[in-house]
Protein backbone atom coordinates (compact mmCIF):
# COMPACT_ATOMS: atom_id res chain seq x y z
CA UNK A 1 0.00 0.00 0.00
CA UNK A 2 1.32 3.47 -0.94
CA UNK A 3 -0.59 5.64 1.54
CA UNK A 4 0.98 9.02 1.99
CA UNK A 5 3.32 8.50 -0.97
CA UNK A 6 4.54 11.65 -2.71
CA UNK A 7 5.31 11.71 -6.43
CA UNK A 8 7.56 14.72 -7.07
CA UNK A 9 9.48 15.79 -10.18
CA UNK A 10 10.48 19.42 -9.71
CA UNK A 11 11.72 21.69 -6.91
CA UNK A 12 9.26 23.89 -5.00
CA UNK A 13 8.48 27.29 -6.48
CA UNK A 14 6.55 30.12 -4.87
CA UNK A 15 3.18 28.53 -5.61
CA UNK A 16 2.33 24.97 -6.48
CA UNK A 17 -0.45 22.93 -7.99
CA UNK A 18 -0.55 20.01 -5.59
CA UNK A 19 -2.51 16.94 -6.61
CA UNK A 20 -4.38 14.46 -4.44
CA UNK A 21 -5.50 11.04 -5.68
CA UNK A 22 -7.38 8.32 -3.80
CA UNK A 23 -8.83 4.90 -4.52
CA UNK A 24 -10.98 2.97 -2.05
CA UNK A 25 -9.52 -0.49 -2.63
CA UNK A 26 -6.05 -1.79 -3.40
CA UNK A 27 -7.46 -3.42 -6.57
CA UNK A 28 -8.52 -0.09 -8.08
CA UNK A 29 -6.15 1.74 -10.40
CA UNK A 30 -4.81 5.24 -9.87
CA UNK A 31 -3.58 5.64 -13.45
CA UNK A 32 -6.49 7.74 -14.74
CA UNK A 33 -6.29 10.16 -11.80
CA UNK A 34 -2.48 10.38 -11.88
CA UNK A 35 -2.37 10.99 -15.64
CA UNK A 36 -4.98 13.77 -15.38
CA UNK A 37 -3.23 15.40 -12.40
CA UNK A 38 0.17 15.29 -14.13
CA UNK A 39 -1.36 16.73 -17.32
CA UNK A 40 -2.82 19.57 -15.19
CA UNK A 41 0.71 20.40 -13.99
CA UNK A 42 0.44 19.00 -10.46
CA UNK A 43 3.73 18.36 -8.72
CA UNK A 44 3.85 16.87 -6.15
CA UNK A 45 0.92 14.43 -6.09
CA UNK A 46 -0.15 12.83 -2.82
CA UNK A 47 -1.82 9.41 -2.84
CA UNK A 48 -4.11 7.38 -0.60
CA UNK A 49 -4.60 3.85 -1.88
CA UNK A 50 -7.11 1.42 -0.39
CA UNK A 51 -8.68 4.12 1.81
CA UNK A 52 -12.39 5.02 1.93
CA UNK A 53 -13.37 8.63 1.31
CA UNK A 54 -15.39 8.50 4.52
CA UNK A 55 -12.32 7.51 6.55
CA UNK A 56 -10.67 10.14 8.73
CA UNK A 57 -7.41 8.15 8.55
CA UNK A 58 -6.04 9.27 5.19
CA UNK A 59 -2.26 9.78 5.47
CA UNK A 60 -1.89 11.25 1.98
CA UNK A 61 -4.61 13.84 2.59
CA UNK A 62 -3.16 14.75 5.98
CA UNK A 63 0.27 15.26 4.37
CA UNK A 64 -1.12 17.40 1.53
CA UNK A 65 -3.08 19.58 3.97
CA UNK A 66 0.08 20.19 6.03
CA UNK A 67 2.07 20.93 2.87
CA UNK A 68 -0.25 23.49 1.26
CA UNK A 69 0.84 27.11 1.56
CA UNK A 70 -0.83 30.42 0.71
CA UNK A 71 -1.08 30.75 -3.07
CA UNK A 72 -0.98 26.99 -3.73
CA UNK A 73 -3.82 25.12 -5.43
CA UNK A 74 -5.11 21.71 -4.33
CA UNK A 75 -6.23 19.76 -7.40
CA UNK A 76 -8.34 16.60 -7.43
CA UNK A 77 -9.56 14.62 -10.41
CA UNK A 78 -13.10 14.40 -9.03
CA UNK A 79 -14.81 15.75 -5.88
CA UNK A 80 -15.56 12.30 -4.47
CA UNK A 81 -11.82 11.58 -4.37
CA UNK A 82 -11.52 14.22 -1.64
CA UNK A 83 -14.49 13.06 0.44
CA UNK A 84 -17.93 11.46 0.37
CA UNK A 85 -19.89 14.04 2.33
CA UNK A 86 -20.86 17.37 0.75
CA UNK A 87 -20.73 18.94 4.20
CA UNK A 88 -17.15 17.72 4.73
CA UNK A 89 -16.08 18.91 1.27
CA UNK A 90 -17.52 22.38 1.79
CA UNK A 91 -15.88 22.68 5.22
CA UNK A 92 -12.53 21.53 3.82
CA UNK A 93 -12.58 23.89 0.82
CA UNK A 94 -13.68 26.81 3.04
CA UNK A 95 -10.76 26.04 5.36
CA UNK A 96 -8.37 26.03 2.39
CA UNK A 97 -9.77 29.39 1.25
CA UNK A 98 -9.21 30.92 4.69
CA UNK A 99 -5.56 29.82 4.40
CA UNK A 100 -5.22 31.43 0.95
CA UNK A 101 -5.22 28.08 -0.87
CA UNK A 102 -7.26 27.64 -4.06
CA UNK A 103 -9.11 24.44 -4.94
CA UNK A 104 -9.74 22.77 -8.29
CA UNK A 105 -11.80 19.70 -9.16
CA UNK A 106 -11.10 18.75 -12.74
CA UNK A 107 -14.18 16.66 -13.58
CA UNK A 108 -16.73 19.07 -12.10
CA UNK A 109 -14.81 22.08 -13.46
CA UNK A 110 -14.70 23.80 -10.07
CA UNK A 111 -11.84 26.27 -9.68
CA UNK A 112 -12.05 28.66 -6.74
CA UNK A 113 -9.50 30.98 -8.36
CA UNK A 114 -12.12 32.02 -10.96
CA UNK A 115 -15.42 33.81 -10.41
CA UNK A 116 -17.37 31.01 -12.15
CA UNK A 117 -15.65 28.37 -10.04
CA UNK A 118 -16.39 30.31 -6.86
CA UNK A 119 -20.04 30.59 -7.94
CA UNK A 120 -20.31 26.81 -8.42
CA UNK A 121 -18.62 26.24 -5.09
CA UNK A 122 -20.94 28.68 -3.30
CA UNK A 123 -23.93 26.91 -4.83
CA UNK A 124 -22.57 23.65 -3.40
CA UNK A 125 -22.08 25.38 -0.04
CA UNK A 126 -25.69 26.61 -0.12
CA UNK A 127 -26.89 23.08 -0.89
CA UNK A 128 -24.77 21.81 1.98
CA UNK A 129 -26.31 24.31 4.39
CA UNK A 130 -29.77 23.35 3.15
CA UNK A 131 -28.90 19.68 3.74
CA UNK A 132 -27.79 20.49 7.31
CA UNK A 133 -31.10 22.28 7.94
CA UNK A 134 -33.12 19.37 6.57
CA UNK A 135 -31.25 16.90 8.77
CA UNK A 136 -31.89 19.08 11.82
CA UNK A 137 -35.59 19.47 10.98
CA UNK A 138 -36.03 15.72 10.43
CA UNK A 139 -34.25 14.92 13.68
CA UNK A 140 -36.40 17.35 15.68
CA UNK A 141 -39.60 16.07 14.04
CA UNK A 142 -38.62 12.46 14.76
CA UNK A 143 -37.86 13.23 18.39
CA UNK A 144 -41.16 15.09 18.81
CA UNK A 145 -43.11 12.20 17.25
CA UNK A 146 -41.37 9.75 19.60
CA UNK A 147 -42.20 11.95 22.61
CA UNK A 148 -45.87 12.06 21.59
CA UNK A 149 -45.86 8.25 21.54
CA UNK A 150 -44.48 8.25 25.08
CA UNK A 151 -40.96 7.16 24.16
CA UNK A 152 -38.09 8.41 26.27
CA UNK A 153 -35.61 10.64 24.43
CA UNK A 154 -32.05 10.90 25.68
CA UNK A 155 -29.97 8.73 27.94
CA UNK A 156 -31.56 5.58 29.34
CA UNK A 157 -33.22 6.12 32.69
CA UNK A 158 -31.54 4.65 35.73
CA UNK A 159 -33.18 1.53 37.07
CA UNK A 160 -34.54 1.39 40.63
CA UNK A 161 -31.78 -1.09 41.54
CA UNK A 162 -29.10 1.28 40.27
CA UNK A 163 -30.64 4.16 42.23
CA UNK A 164 -30.68 2.03 45.40
CA UNK A 165 -27.00 1.14 44.90
CA UNK A 166 -26.22 4.83 44.44
CA UNK A 167 -28.11 5.72 47.62
CA UNK A 168 -26.08 3.19 49.65
CA UNK A 169 -22.79 4.75 48.60
The sheet with strand 6-7 has its strands ordered as: 6-7, 45-49, 17-23, 73-76, 102-105, 110-111
Q: Is 24 a catalytic residue?
A: yes
Selecting among 24, 114, 115, 136, the annotated active-site residue is 24
Question: In b/e form, how buried is each residue of 108-146, taking b as 16+ CB within 10 angstroms?
Answer: bebbbeeeebbebbeebbeebeeeeeeeeeeeeeeeeee
Active site residues: 24
Amino acid sequence: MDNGKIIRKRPRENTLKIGYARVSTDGQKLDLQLDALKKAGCDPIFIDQGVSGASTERPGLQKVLKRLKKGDTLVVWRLDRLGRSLIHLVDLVNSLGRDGVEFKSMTENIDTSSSGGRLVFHLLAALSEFERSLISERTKAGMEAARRKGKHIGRPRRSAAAENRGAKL
